[in-house]
Structure 1
């Protein structure tokens, strides 16, 4: 995996900014993804505010990043909320950690703010179309990286669409995130399911090799018992955007959007920006305050900004995917920043 470290977080963009008060380490996903956009924008916001110099490593596997934050080896990371949930139980990718140690580590994680900017999609090349998204028998489907939250969500998507499980009716294809586009464009899969922001640079790159079609989840499947279970599952949240806005976001690219009504409906991957519970409260307050003051920059610096579903207002917990199956707490410094900005924070988010 090729990793690139961004030092100074766009220092040239703010040459007159005050000297950073802290140097923090962070890991994020590959360029073009929602977490990458949020993290690099946050780095620029913190630098401009003179709060911190955020040193970011790209192309990380967030399963590892979450554990690194919990162990105190990393200051900050974007966390699909299913990962702290799995860590707290010592299961899935954290089975080697075990329940007791996993619970201890998970208790050391705190959230600064939330977002749900990526929704699960299903796509394929028009030159090799899937005739019926409910019949995926025998297909080779790229459904995520080798492990982690995205793979769990990808497998859930295919089971919801077709009733099939990975290795039982279809062949799941997995690659590390940096290899996703090349694997798909190279013919390594008949179709793919990926949690994507809007617009997705990854889908645009895939479409550059030939026209593609992207589907949401058919309404009857989303409303089914399994659909409701998946939307309420740890790390998920409902996602709905007017289909005209989705089509406009991909305008100029050979991308066809298919829905059965006027909205693109799916389940989102709920994220929290995490730090250690031991991080200095004043520093966390300053970081979160700068984040809240940077709202316009987050929403306007990229076409995907308006669709990030980021937390800039009141926090009820459930809308953020944090007060149901996932029980995760905010850092006291972050809570104080939200409240000082005039927002309410649900009791279920308090440590």
Structure 2
């Protein structure tokens, strides 16, 4: 991981005003990812509004970041919503914590806003094609980092496509996020499955080493019993983008996109921008207010902006992936900002 501090011009031009700004510690994923784009844009928005300066550590493992927020050691992080769920049960990457302590820690997490812009996809190099994505037996497949939400989703994708489980029919390869591209371009795997925003800088970097083909989830598999279970699983949300828009996002980069209909359909990783429950209510309000006011900047600041699926309107909880098995709550200051802007907030999101 490495740290980049987002410093504002306001600090240089108006030191008196800057003195009123809060300083927030935050962790995010690697550059080129949807969470990284959202966090760095949020940092710029908060600085421009004079609300806060964000000190962001990049390349973080979000499993650890979510725990740091829950423990009050970190001010903010993007959280795949499956992680607070697993923490509340004391299972998966949080099995060492146990259910009682896990539930206590998860109750200390609050959400400011939501997004679901990273869709699971499957890919391979055209020079080493997979003959049938439903027959992946014997292959070495990069399916996520060593632990966490992306690995859970990656394993689900391969099971949905081929019926195979990691280590039982195929060999799952995991590396830390900063090593993902190098592992794939270095020839260490036959294929990969990754949750990606649109367009993905990571897929473009992978394609720089040779033309690639990426797939969505075939319609019949997505409509199957297992497909519907995965769509409704904690931390997931439906994802669909018109295929021409999806292909246009990768035009000129040596990336072929294959679907069986007129849209790219998959399951998205549902995210919440989390803070500790103890975060000052006025500060949470000001952060969320600035976020809502910065909608145009989020949507137009990058080609991926329109596809981040950030929450700028009414919040029903279900569409955000938060009011089923996942029971995260919003911060009261964030609720106040949404309602002040004229948006409704579902009761299931209220602490």
Aligned residue number for residue 176 of structure 1: 176
Equivalence map 1:169-208=2 (5 Å): 169-208=169-208
Is the 1:14–1:47 Cα contact (8 Å) retained in structure 2? no
Alignment root-mean-square deviation, CA: 1.1
Aligned mates of 1:311, 1:55 — CA distance in 2 = 23
Aligned mates of 1:82, 1:115 — CA distance in 2 = 13
Aligned mates of 1:325, 1:134 — CA distance in 2 = 29
In the TM superposition, what is the alpha-carbon distance from 1:289 to its structure 2 partner? 0.0
CA offsets per residue over residues 274-301 of structure 1, 9 Å max, x none?
0001110000000000000000000001
In the TM superposition, what is the alpha-carbon distance from 1:11 to its structure 2 partner? 2.2
Aligned residue number for residue 75 of structure 1: 75
In structure 1, runs of 5+ residues without a counterpart are none
Aligned mates of 2:12, 2:31 — CA distance in 1 = 24
Aligned mates of 1:171, 1:177 — CA distance in 2 = 18
Aligned mates of 2:287, 2:339 — CA distance in 1 = 14
In the TM superposition, what is the alpha-carbon distance from 1:6 to its structure 2 partner? 1.6
TM-score, normalised relative to structure 1: 0.98
Aligned mates of 2:306, 2:148 — CA distance in 1 = 27
In the TM superposition, what is the alpha-carbon distance from 1:4 to its structure 2 partner? 1.9
- Asked if residue 11 in structure 1 is aligned to residue 22 in structure 2, the reply is no
- Asked if residue 309 in structure 1 is aligned to residue 306 in structure 2, the reply is no
Aligned mates of 2:188, 2:326 — CA distance in 1 = 35
Is the 2:292–2:312 Cα contact (8 Å) retained in structure 1? yes
Aligned mates of 1:99, 1:347 — CA distance in 2 = 25
2:303 match: secondary structure: coil
Aligned residue number for residue 89 of structure 2: 89
2:74 match: secondary structure: coil
Aligned mates of 1:295, 1:16 — CA distance in 2 = 25
CA offsets per residue over residues 242-282 of structure 1, 9 Å max, x none?
00001000011100000000000000000000000111000
Aligned mates of 2:199, 2:287 — CA distance in 1 = 27
Aligned mates of 1:341, 1:14 — CA distance in 2 = 28
TM-score, normalised relative to structure 2: 0.98
- Asked if residue 163 in structure 1 is aligned to residue 158 in structure 2, the reply is no
Is the 2:117–2:307 Cα contact (8 Å) retained in structure 1? yes
Aligned mates of 1:341, 1:100 — CA distance in 2 = 37
Is the 2:10–2:47 Cα contact (8 Å) retained in structure 1? no
How many positions carry a matched residue from both structures? 348
Is the 2:317–2:349 Cα contact (8 Å) retained in structure 1? yes
